[in-house]
C-alpha cells in the first residue's frame, strides 16, 4: 500500500465526531500509530504532513479525541493523539531543521504547511482543549519531581510543547470585519480562562536550572509577541495604579 493510501485509510479508521461525542473506531489506536510512523519517516517534501493537514485531522479528529474521550481505557489513544498533535503543530521552520528551504518546490511546501496551520489556529483556540491540557499537566506538577514517572515526563513535555506550537502559529487577519480580534487573541483568552497562564508562571518560577525553562520563556515571549511596547507599558502602569489605589483604601 502506498504512503498516500496508508494515511488515507488510517485517517478513515480513527472514528468521527457526531456533534456531542467522539465515536472512536475499533482500529483507532492502531491508526494513530500508523500516522505517527508516517511522520517519523516523512520525506523532504513533507507529503505525509501535508496530507494529514489537508484532511483537517487536527480539527476533525485530534481535538475531539482529546476533549471527549476520558475513559481509562482510552489512555493510550489520548497519548497517541497528543503526540500526533505535537508533531502536526510543529512550526514549519522546525520541520525543515531550522532553515528556510532554498529550493522553490520546498519553499512552496513550507508555505503550504504554514497556511494550513494558520487556518487551524482558530480551532486550536479551544477553551476545552486548554482545559484538557491543564487537567493533564496539573497532577504532574503536583507530584514531586523525584516521584514522577516516564509518562509524567511525557505529559509535561507534550503539553507545554503544544502550547508553544499553537502560540507560534502566525495569525491570519482579523476573524471578521466587525472585530479586530484574531486567532492569537482567542488562544490567549483560552489560556487565561483555562488557568493555563498560572501554570506557565508557576513553571517559570520553579524551572530554573531545568531544561523546561527555555520552553516556558519561549511561551511567554510568544504570548506577548503581538503586543506593542506601548500597550504593555500602559497595562503595567494601569495595574500599578490600581494596586496603589487598592492599598490606600
Residue 89, CB-side half-sphere exposure with 13 Å CA sphere: 29
Q: What value does the mean pLDDT of the chain take?
A: 88
Please give the pLDDT value at position 235: 46
* DSSP symbol at 170: P
- The angle formed by the CA atoms of residues 115, 176 and 159, to the nearest 5 degrees, is 50
Comparing 128 with 213, which gets the higher pLDDT? 128
Report the share of the chain in percent with pLDDT over 90.
71
The pTM for the full model equals 0.89
pLDDT at 164: 97
Please give the pLDDT value at position 71.
Answer: 84
User: Is the model's pLDDT at 34 over the cut of 50?
Assistant: yes
Q: Show the DSSP H helices in 13-74 as ranges.
A: 28-40, 47-54, 57, 63-68
What are 137's three cell numbers? 499537566
Better-scored residue on pLDDT, 239 or 152: 152
Q: How many CB atoms lie within 10 A of CB 184?
A: 22
Please tell me the least confidently modeled range out of 41-50, 68-77, 80-89, 169-178. 169-178
Looking at residue 172, its pLDDT comes to 72
User: Is the confidence at residue 136, as pLDDT, over 50?
Assistant: yes
What is the domain partition of the chain in residue ranges? Answer: 3-224
Torsional sign, CA 172, 173, 175, 179: positive
Q: Is the pLDDT of residue 213 over 60?
A: yes
Q: pLDDT tens digit string along 172-202?
A: 766 555 567 889 999 999 999 999 999 998 8
pLDDT band per the 50, 70, 90 thresholds, residue 102: very high
Give the whole-number percent of the chain exceeding pLDDT 70: 84
Tell whether the model's pLDDT for residue 111 goes beyond 60.
Answer: yes
DSSP state of 15: E
Amino acid at each position: 500500500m502506498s504512503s498516500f493510501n496508508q494515511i488515507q485509510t488510517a485517517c478513515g479508521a480513527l472514528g468521527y465526531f457526531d456533534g456531542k461525542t467522539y465515536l472512536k473506531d475499533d482500529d483507532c489506536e492502531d491508526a494513530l500509530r500508523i500516522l505517527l510512523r508516517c511522520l517519523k519517516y516523512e520525506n523532504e517534501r513533507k507529503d505525509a504532513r501535508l496530507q494529514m493537514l489537508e484532511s483537517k485531522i487536527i480539527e476533525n479528529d485530534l481535538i475531539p479525541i482529546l476533549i471527549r474521550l476520558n475513559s481509562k481505557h482510552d489512555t493510550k489513544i489520548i497519548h497517541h493523539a497528543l503526540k500526533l498533535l505535537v508533531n502536526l503543530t510543529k512550526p514549519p521552520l522546525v520541520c525543515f531543521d531550522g532553515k528556510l528551504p532554498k529550493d522553490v518546490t520546498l519553499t512552496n511546501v513550507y508555505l503550504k504547511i504554514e497556511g494550513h496551520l494558520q487556518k487551524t489556529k482558530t480551532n486550536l483556540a479551544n477553551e476545552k482543549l486548554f482545559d484538557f491540557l491543564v487537567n493533564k499537566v496539573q497532577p504532574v506538577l503536583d507530584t514531586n519531581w523525584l516521584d514522577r514517572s516516564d509518562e509524567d515526563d511525557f505529559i509535561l513535555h507534550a503539553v507545554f510543547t503544544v502550547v508553544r506550537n499553537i502560540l507560534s502559529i502566525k495569525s491570519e487577519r482579523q476573524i471578521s470585519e466587525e472585530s479586530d480580534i484574531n486567532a492569537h487573541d482567542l488562544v490567549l483568552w483560552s489560556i487565561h480562562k483555562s488557568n493555563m497562564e498560572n501554570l506557565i508562571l508557576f513553571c517559570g518560577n520553579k524551572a530554573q536550572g531545568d531544561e523546561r525553562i527555555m520552553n516556558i520563556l519561549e511561551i511567554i515571549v510568544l504570548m506577548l509577541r503581538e503586543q506593542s511596547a506601548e500597550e504593555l507599558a500602559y497595562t503595567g502602569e494601569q495595574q500599578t495604579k490600581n494596586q496603589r489605589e487598592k492599598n490606600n483604601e
